[in-house]
Structure 1
Amino acid sequence: MALIAPIDASFLLMETREQPMHVGGLQIFQLPDGAGPDYVGDLYRRLLTYDTLRGLYRRRPSMPSNILGDLWWKDERDKDVDLEYHVRLSALPKPGRVRELLELVSRLHGTLLDRHRPLWEFHLIEGLEDNRFATYGKVHHALVDGIRGTQESAGQYSPDPAAELPPMWAPRDKPASARTKAESSTERRAPWRAAAELVGDVAGVAPTLMKVFTDSISKDSAAVAFTAPKTMLNVSLTGARRFAAQSWPIDRIKKVAKANGATINDVVLAMCSGALRRYLVANDALPTKSLIAAVPVALPVADTSREGGNAVTMVLSRLATEIADPLERLTAIRASMLTAKESMAGRSTLQINAVGMATTIVPTGLNLIPGYVAYGRTPYNLVISNVPGPREPLYWNGARLLGWYPVSVPTEGLALNMTVLSYADNMEFGLTGCRRSVPHLQHLLDYLEDSLAELEQ
């Protein structure tokens, strides 16, 4: 049995019926030319033949009904994994529009993964109009973060339409040339040098936290935990979810970024900020103070051979929702993100992780205390994540991947999550919210378009 890393264990400990802790993805495919009427059914039966699984997809908590079981992983044997439970075939009701697809994904995303089994599911969905089909998969956040989950899914796709690759749970060959420089340097590093670096990293945690604290006092652009206004989004969750998704051409976002000396991520945050401002105004709920977003940041990983786990931290950014002018809002967001980046510059992975734990992850844990969400201060308002994805069109055994939408995790006190994935020529927005607490979630898609359009003007 393998020990569960502390950050991975926290995602297991935080999970409740109202707060499922899995990440997912929705992919939409075009049926290949000449596909027969039972193409998706044949594909499903072919997937079930891949009954040898990688370790990540055989892993579950060692004692699902005991809190101490969240300390160790148990790897099931291949023959003990019921593949027909994990890999499922579904069909949409007619007329098979995207609306029916999103309703199905909303329901699937709101159900807990069974801790007596490996913590993943894969759904093959037929009946989508215009000769399309879809897949929806989910994996527990204790096993993968958003970036690692994207990499897992991408491994079964290819830019070659004729290529046939195994599904993500099946073993994959890793050529010797795939070893990274980081792995090689780790092997060459003497134990005493590694120990000295660790001591230096630990010693630098306190100065790093102090730097973040002084920046939060001295710089108006800094976003500080517990200074966020309480909004209609910062309430307790129910177990049901609602999901909405849409694509935007990345060239539109790049042009806005170039014209304003900003990054693509700055413009994505500005789009979300403008959409949130419109949404809150429409619900007569816009606060006078700026909303604050937690923005996940990938950490460098030296040991790329380690399968699964989380390698992300989070920084805080002001969204400037109190500013009406879209360009002034973008400028304020850019300044806030620069302040966050400067506080992390030159820091080690351990030190950056410590800052993320202190400023975002630990404060969020307070929301799990009964009554805190209703009466305590809000650490921040929502999570906005930008995940890098494949930049070329991909195929899955001949079927072209048309769209790839992230389905993420609202948490107690943070009823809305906005995650963006770059794929080919598009930025794919996936909005996941509590079904009761975020009414008319789909309106945010219109507001995202309005927000981008005003930035272009």
Structure 2
Amino acid sequence: MNKLSLLDLGFFIAESAASPKHVGGLMIYKRPAKTKVSFAVDLYRELLTFTDVKPPFNRIIHFSLTGMPTWQESETVDLAQHVFYHKLRRGKNERQDLYHLVSQLHQPMLDRARPLWEMHVIDGLSEARFALYMKMHHACADGVTMMRWAAESLAVTAEDRELRPLWSVGRRANKKRLQQLEDEMTSSLLSDLAGAGKRLLGIGRLAAMLLLESVKLTKNAISLPFVADGNTPLTGQVTPGRQFATTSLSMERVNLIRTRTRSTLNHVALTCLDGALHRY
């Protein structure tokens, strides 16, 4: 049994049908050469045989009136409620058709009575392709963590045919790693305490600026969160509807920008998103 952190509790408190708090990822694959047309459905059936579900994929959130919510591990997990198969119809199996299906799959909230994750095997894509779409509650894992788990589940070479579903790989930290984390937390505690005073002053200054801005005693001193001037495409209440879209960027161009600006890949990605939203 594990207590829920305050941050993760916030995801549950803020969650609604119009604003679900799960993350998702889509991976598109080409069917291996000289394999049957039934490759994807056979993969789906094989995935259902991996019934030894490891943490955190076997954890159910338990809410209590007397204390903080906790994660409780379930002895059995019915994979039929978590792993699903879909097949796109011929003529309706291009990329945009796949994105439309994923948009629909991403909309519903995850059932809190079960472990908070799903995997969807999507068959019938054009050019002998199939896809895996995974969604998981943000209190269980963020997008970066899901990407790392997905990478760990993939084979390094074409000769490696072992199937390693995400939920079947144990991820408990060993004692050495736990001790390392403890040492890191202890060593950083003093520096955190030393900077606490500065952070409190900064928070106080920010709160004062927000107050002055909200009562219109100052203007443009600081941007209020979730406030937009005028009627923009992003103004208004969020609805349950979702859309899925992708784009491709040349890593050669990205790396050139990183070198010239001495920035990270994340900086470039966020700048692209910021520019796209402003243009939209």
TM-score by length of 1: 0.52
Residues 54 and 171 of structure 2 are in contact (CA less than 8 Å); yes or no, is this contact kept in structure 1?
Answer: no
Give 1 or 2: higher strand fraction.
Answer: 1
Residue of 165, 171, 178 corresponding to 2:169: 171
2:276 is equivalent to residue 275 of structure 1: yes
- Structure 2 counterpart of 1:82, which letter? D
Deviations 1:276-325 (A, max 9, x none): 3432xxxxxxxxxxxxxxxxxxxxxxxxxxxxxxxxxxxxxxxxxxxxxx
Contact kept, 8 Å, 2:103 with 2:243, in 1: the verdict is yes
- Residues 26 and 134, structure 1, Cα contact 8 Å, conserved in 2: yes
| Contact 1:126 1:134 (8 Å CA) reproduced | yes
Q: Distance in 2 between matches of 1:2 and 1:17?
A: 26
What is the CA–CA distance in structure 2 between the aligned matches of 1:234 and 1:67, rounded to whole Å?
A: 36
Partner of 1:255: 256
Residue deviations 1:368-404, cap 9 Å, x none? xxxxxxxxxxxxxxxxxxxxxxxxxxxxxxxxxxxxx
Cα 1:189–1:37 shift into 2, 3 Å: closer
Deviations 1:391-428 (A, max 9, x none): xxxxxxxxxxxxxxxxxxxxxxxxxxxxxxxxxxxxxx
Q: 3-state DSSP class of the match of 1:100? A: helix
- Show the counterpart of 1:7: 7
Distance 1:21 1:74 in 2: 20
Structure 2 vs 1, CA of residues 185 and 30 (structure 1 numbering), >3 Å: closer, same or farther? closer
Structure 1 residue 154, shift from structure 2 partner: 1.8
In structure 2, the residue corresponding to 1:267 is in which secondary structure? helix
Report how far residue 275 of structure 1 moved. Answer: 2.6
Over aligned residue pairs, what C-alpha RMSD do you find?
A: 3.4
1:124 aligns with 121
CA distance in 2: counterparts of 1:28 and 1:140, whole angstroms: 22
Query: Residue 251 and residue 212 in structure 1: after superposition, are their counterparts in 2 closer, same or farther (change >3 A)?
Result: farther
Cα distance per residue 1:176-232 (max 9 Å; x no partner): 7x955x843625988xx887666546555314536878999xxxxx97444963332
Q: Structure 2 CA distance, aligned partners of 1:55 and 1:92? A: 32
> Can you give the 5+ residue segments of structure 2 that lack an aligned partner in the other structure?
211-220
Is the CA contact (8 Å cut-off) linking 2:23 and 2:138 kept in structure 1?
A: yes
- The alpha carbon displacement at 1:244 in A equals 0.8
Whole-Å separation in 1 of the counterparts to 2:84 and 2:275: 38
- The amino acid that maps onto 1:87 is V
Tell me, in whole angstroms, the C-alpha distance in 1 between the residues paired with 2:190 and 2:152.
37
Separation of aligned partners in 1, 2:159 and 2:266: 34
**AA matched with 1:236:** Q
> Partner residue of 1:205?
199
Deviation at 1:38, TM superposition (A): 1.0
Question: What is the CA–CA distance in structure 2 between the aligned matches of 1:91 and 1:135, rounded to whole Å?
Answer: 12
For the Cα contact (< 8 Å) 2:3–2:68, is it kept in 1?
Answer: no
Letter in 2 for 1:229: A
Q: Structure 1 residue 98: deviation in Å? A: 0.5
Equivalent position to 1:161, from 148, 158, 174? 158
Identity between Structure 1 and Structure 2 (%):
30
Give the length in aligned residue pairs.
Answer: 268
Corresponding residue number in structure 2 for 1:72: 70
Contact 2:55/2:172, CA 8 A, preserved across alignment = no
Structure 2 residue 76 is matched with structure 1 residue 90: no
- Counterpart of 1:312 in structure 2 is none
Cα offsets for 1:106-155 (capped at 9, x unmatched): 00000111111110000011001001100001000111112212222222
SS of equivalent to 1:238? coil
> Residue 246 of structure 1: CA displacement?
2.3
| 1:58 corresponds to | 58
* Structure 1 alignment gaps of length 5 or more: 217-221, 280-457
Is this contact kept in 2: 1:62–1:70, CA < 8 A?
no
